[in-house]
Amino acid sequence: MCPAEHLPVLVSQVVTALAPSARGWIVDATVGLGGHARALLEAQPEARLLGLDVDSEALELARERLAVFGRRVVLVNASYGSLTAIASDQGVAHADGVLFDLGVSSLQLDTPSRGFSFRHDGPLDMRFGRDGATVADLLTDIEEEELVRALREFGEEPRARRVARAIVRARLRQPIRTTGELNRVVHAALGQRRGRIDPSTRTFQALRIAVNRELESIPSAIDQAARLLKPGGRLAVIAFHSLEDRLVKRALRRLSGRCVCPPGSFACQCRPERLLEVLTPKPVTPGPEELADNPRARSAKLRVAARRSG
């Protein structure tokens, strides 16, 4: 699938959640290739859109795709972790809707030079932006115990110790610099594919999350989005794996006034606030028709909340 054929996931559900109430600003905090943004702007001709993305390559493609909307669109190369500051800089005091589409994009997965996928051989990069260390750099220096923790926490890899040990042994012979080299190391450690998930899937996910520090900003970004919404404004968040979704669910629970402290805590430390009303007790997932057209949507989960009036 080339970028021009990019299919945004759960697009009709996102439009239903955000566009009906949007007469002012919609913030797409992960604009990517602009698929959701285009659908939202088409659905609500009165709305304007502020789009953020840390991936400058994706942002340029989104700029081309959304050029038809002219001044209704403002795009900024920035992380959603800076949502409040970017909105303020652009004169967006309140938003009618905010969207987060978390995780990796089809552009990133399908571009070998970006190094996100074990299905294509390329440099072991995986950065969303162009700053900071690559995964190849990370694997050069990381201690075995730290690597085990990353594989367990970010990849939920049950055989993290075996994979980490294999990586450490392999790099003693030569640095691991390509996706193909890492894929072969993982397959040698875990054996060939036995089920639906490729043995390398969890390792690649873990290292991508680690190098981009993906999970760190999610709770803060959702908090910023909730405060940016006007009363009645909607927040929509799409997550693709359980780690993201748990953070999203926890953040929405806290912002809807429910304590999220661990069971048995002596006193509440999470400071719940009644800013939001959660509109999706269970996440919305793709239907059979969407999955037939776009198999990559299979793990997507959409949660929606609205800003309370008082």
Residue 168 · residue 186 · CB < 8 Å: no
Sign of the dihedral defined by the CA atoms of residues 233, 310, 279, 103, in that order: positive
Residue 1 Cα to chain centre, angstroms: 20
- Answer yes or no: are the C-beta atoms of 166 and 188 closer than 8 Å: yes
What's the angle, vertex CA 14, arms to CA 112 and CA 227, rounded to 5?
100
What three-state secondary structure class fits 28? strand
* Beta strand 25-28 pairing with 48-53: parallel
Q: How far apart are CA 75 and CA 78, in angstroms?
A: 9
As a whole number of angstroms, the distance between CA 202 and CA 152 comes to: 9
Q: How far is CA 256 from CA 81, 276, 307, 308, in A?
A: 21, 5, 9, 9
Q: What domains can be seen in the chain, in order of their start residue?
A: 3-107+217-307 (3.40.50.150), 114-214 (1.10.150.170)
What phi and psi, each to the nearest 5 degrees, are found at residue 58? -60, -40
For the question of whether the overall pTM of this predicted structure is more than 0.95, the answer is no
Kindly report the average pLDDT of the chain as a whole number. 93
CB 128 within 8 A of CB 28: no
The per-residue pLDDT for range 201-213, each reduced to its tens digit, is 999 999 999 999 9
Distances from the Cα of 67 to the Cαs of 25, 59, 92, 217, in angstroms? 17, 12, 20, 29
Answer whether residue 1 shows pLDDT above 60.
Answer: no
How confident is the model over 21-61, as pLDDT tens digits?
Answer: 678 999 999 999 999 999 999 999 999 999 999 999 999 99
What does the pLDDT read at residue 5? Answer: 53
| Residue entry with tokens 């949660």 | 303
CA distance 153 to 206: 8
pLDDT exceeds 80 at position 188: yes
Token pair listed for 40:
């939202």
CA-wise closest residue to 50 among 3, 7, 96: 96
Question: Tell me: the pLDDT tens digits for 225-275?
Answer: 999 999 999 999 999 999 999 999 999 999 999 888 888 787 888 888 999
> What DSSP line would sit under 281-309, residue for residue?
SS-B---HHHHHH-GGGGG-EEEEEEE--
If phi over 0 gives left and psi between -120 and 50 gives alpha, with beta otherwise, what is residue 132? left
- Which residue in this structure is represented by tokens 């439009």? 15
